[in-house]
Amino acid sequence: MTNNCTSPVARVRDLHDLLGVIPHLLGFHPEESLVVLVVVDGQVELTARADLVDLEPEGHLEVLLDRMMLRWPAARVWLVGYSASERQGWRMLRRGRLHLGDALAGEPLCVSRGRYRVGSADGPRYGYDPATAPSAAAATVHGLQARPNRAAVRRSICDDSVPSLGAECSLARALQRVAVLDSAALPAEMDAAVAAGLAAPANQAPDDLVWLALLSTDPQARDRALLAITSDSSEACVALWSQVVRACPHGLQGQPLALLGWSAWVSGDGAMQSICLEELERLGESLPLQRLLDRLNHAMVPPSFWNDLRAELLDAVQPGSLQAGPDEPASHIRDAHGEGAHGQVA
């Protein structure tokens, strides 16, 4: 799921603008997808994407839409389908239109093979070139990327190859370094390492990145890294923890992936956030930060919530105590919208 709760980055004047900004809101160009834009008072509050195949079973699409309308009851909703098969795209759009009724903001759109239609499969076809829309240019100026597809987002952080000898050597040096430190010194070490990394995320040596990964395995140091994420620093945190994940030897990616996921959530990069959760599940992890972030994702909690949650943690949580048991939710996090659309958004 991709949330957009920041200041407006583009003005949508027509359908061409709407189609132009969607890849930037998602972070990639969607394929075989249904995209849902939730609009409140003229501003996009949520941009969500689901695979068409995941929404095919009876009730799955309807539960997903219900969850959104429960959170934003006054919203108007745009539906855009993307498929090589117009028939499949329109089948899903008709279900969505029937379920939403008056909550629709405008006629559904179906994008297929470089063209799009509005309202129905019998309407005229128009050329689809989102890069030419003024909204796309405005979003690019504001730093919103539109990667070729979702797989490209995953490739930006995940390396499935055999870990290099350099990564293993960096880990050996990090283990030697931590062996001579008292555990009480690790949170301060994390503070210093994160500060250096945020100052110049692109200039970190492999040893520095693996050092951050190893420090994150200490609960108190990990919590310092979490609290270093702010609205202002979140994009730099995404850049830093992305590099840490890529630099990690296998077996050490868990906590860095979780911290990257939190950074992505705060920055509004829902695609990156969801991919981090998928990778953690693929690795068989069940980490406290992972479980809390998963609840935020399912509950469609906007990134603006982090300001209040972080302030509460700074006031009430001692570093190292931010650990939830398997069934223990974070303060104020409620999964009020059910589990019916589990894993289908973003």
pLDDT, residue 323, reads: 45
**Encoded tokens for 253:** 């990616």
Q: With a cut of 90, say whether residue 329 has pLDDT above it.
A: no
- Which is more confident, 143 or 234? 234
Contacts of 292 (CB under 8 A, 6+ apart): 324, 329, 330, 333
pLDDT, residue 138, reads: 86
- Pick from 66-75, 140-149, 329-338: least confident: 329-338
User: What digits encode the pLDDT tens for the residues 226-259?
Assistant: 999 999 999 999 999 999 999 988 889 999 999 9
**Encoded tokens for 301:** 């909690």
pLDDT, residue 318, reads: 55
Q: With a cut of 70, say whether residue 342 has pLDDT above it.
A: no
Residue 277 neighbours by CB distance under 10 Å: 24
Contacts of 137 (CB under 8 A, 6+ apart): none
User: What digits encode the pLDDT tens for the residues 290-302?
Assistant: 999 999 988 888 8
* pTM score of the predicted model: 0.82
User: What digits encode the pLDDT tens for the residues 98-107?
Assistant: 999 999 999 9
How many residues can be counted in the chain? 346
pLDDT, residue 19, reads: 95
Beta bridge partners of 147: 28
State how far the alpha carbon of 286 is from the alpha carbons of 260, 323, 325, 326, in Å.
15, 12, 10, 8
The C-alpha atoms of residue 283 and residue 296 are separated, in whole angstroms, by: 20
Q: With a cut of 90, say whether residue 175 has pLDDT above it.
A: yes
Exposed, middle or buried, 122 (CB in 10 Å: 0-12/13-18/19+)?
exposed
